[in-house]
Structure 1
Amino acid sequence: MTEPAEPTAGTVRIAWSGALDLANATGLGRDARAALDTDGVTLLVIDLADVSFMDSTVLGELVAILTRATDRGARVRLQNVPSRVKVLLDVTGVGTLFEDDPA
Structure 2
Amino acid sequence: MYHKFNAIMQRLTGARSSAYVPQGLKPTVPAEAPPTIFASPTRMASEARGQGEYMGRNKVPELQKFFQRHDGVPIYLKRGLMDRMLYRTTMGLTFGGALYCMVALFMCAQPK
Instruction: Give the TM-score band, short-chain normalised.
Output: under 0.3
The structure whose Rg is larger is 2
TM-score (norm 1): 0.21
Q: Relative contact order: is structure 1 or structure 2 higher (C-alpha 8 Å, sep ≥ 6)?
A: 1
TM-score (norm 2): 0.20
